[in-house]
A and B are shown apart, each in its own frame.
Chain A
Amino acid sequence: MKKRTIIFGAISLICVMCIGASAFMLSGFAQDASEAQDKELLEAVTAAEEAILSVGVVPAEYLLEEVDLAAVEAGEAELVPQEVKEKLMEAQDSSLADAYTKDIADPLHETIGTVLEASNDLIDFDIDSGVLSPTLISTQKGENGQMIVMIECVGWLKAVQQIETDDLYHAQLIMAKDLITYSLIEQDGQWVVNGTLDMTMEIAPDTYSPFKGAYETLEEAVRAATMLNPEEENPF
């Protein structure tokens, strides 16, 4: 009787240990899966933010290597000729298509074209953009397999602009902290943004000046803007 009790007790103990170990492993797997999904979601919304900030950007490398900026300044050449405009539009359309659903990405196509076209008329264009410190604030399941994701990040934009009051070319680094709630759906195994539900943009405080120097020539201003370091300048 005593022996039977000991054996029964031992078996029970082993069972409890097995169940505990399984539960521990399962919760570990679930946590890993959740962390992996959070990582994918953060990457997806960061890519969406980067793609939308890059709309209409004319890359500095192209400007410095392939454009006669003195001729542009004199009004004798276009900053973005038609063939370059088409290439830039294709690249930016592709980034948007990877990050957003078609109904959001498609209307931005026209915006890219308009911005690039206007760069030929106004010395007022962007040469680079990006995102700093993307942080996942929250995720929750929405309807029909949607995920609602809130992130915080700092968006930045390098620009060159001619200001009519002084006739100089200004290098700019514009920075703002964004708190954005996106909704995402899974499309071909990838998370893509299908809506911006809420967006609070905190522009930089007045102690931060986005104007980083005024130059007499366009080329000097483009080179100066290229050298600006968003991480070092970040006021947030």
Chain B
Amino acid sequence: MVDTLIAKRHLMANKKQTLVAMLGVTFGIAMFILMISFMIGVNQFMEDTMLSSTPDIHIYNDIKTDYTVSIAGDYFKDKKLLVSVRHPKPKQVNLNIKNASGIINDLRNDPEITRVSPFLSTQVFYNYGPVQINGYINGVNIIDESKIFDLRSKMIVGQPEDLLNTDKGIIMGRGLANKLNLGVGDMVTLTTPAGTSMSFRVVGIFAIGIGTIDDTRSYINLANVQQLMGKDRSYITDINVKLTNNKLAPSKAGELYKKYNYKSDDWQTANSSVMASNIVRDVLTYVVSITLLTVAGFGIYNIMNMTIQNKMKDIAILKAQGFSGQDIVRIFLSQSLFIGFFGALMGEILGFLLSYALSRVPFPHNDFISLKYFPVIFNPAHYLFGLVFGVITPFIAGLMPSIKASRIDPVVILRG
């Protein structure tokens, strides 16, 4: 094509200008790749951390006290009186899930559900000499629980199964064990709010990487907790559920709530503040990237306008010799697209190198966040998006000057 030949010559004739225009796109795309790789990496890390402490769906018996019905109503029912009861007190409520074993069986047969872990959660005091540290314990079937949260990889000392091999064993969060100055084999006494207490032997220590959990949570066999609380063997307060696809959690949670009438929180709702900050990061990434690319687009627009201004005579002579308006558009638009495509390609390479470098930078050591390096994700879709965007921007930026060039009246220029 003779049009591309001319376009190529124009680009090569002014290499420095071409390179500057390309660099605009290059930096725009490189920043986009770096930012999106890092931001999505952070999002992914947050999501992973969330999922390591939050089940896909958490079913529990929320305290809902019904104050509309009062015993006073029964008492005064024959008399024509307006009875007002101030500050009614709730009646004794059990926080357990009724028919827990039925629900658990039902959940286990659901094809969308891969894991079910029933547990009993309660507040306790960890007694440390004269000091009592507030926390809570989860009475679990450790096999089920560790399959949902992959506890095995979170263990610092011991294995989850050690809980089964020990009578009255306890697996403690790292922060808690540090505070209590406990190691494997040591004894700790727990006291429930009801006043009962029992001693347990530490068999393992875990660290999920979230301070609020590692500082307060311990795992004990379900039966031991039921025993500690003086409840029977069917007493369950919570059920954790893992789905085949965790993106379906919100709709599935609604479904389960309707079915069992127990509160069902999906992980996204339970971590809505984290999800919100993910969205903020996503928006930020796109806003910054689009801004950079727009600036690059204006750079191209300027350079194309300048080129066309310098090439007025050439355009006139080409038109006189039989090049049509479309040819002129093609000549200048292809220059702009060339700048865009190769600029974007260089940007992708630069972006990859920067992202890779970032992913090798050690994250400042922190007890609460289990992160060795800056979280960076390498997703081909981002690179494809960057390339498409890097070509579309110059296309739009080059279109107007090119059309302007095609409308140049050769007579005006040739007559001088």
A and B assemble together:
no
* Chain A interface residues toward B at CB < 8 A: none
Interface residues of B (CB under 8 A from A): none
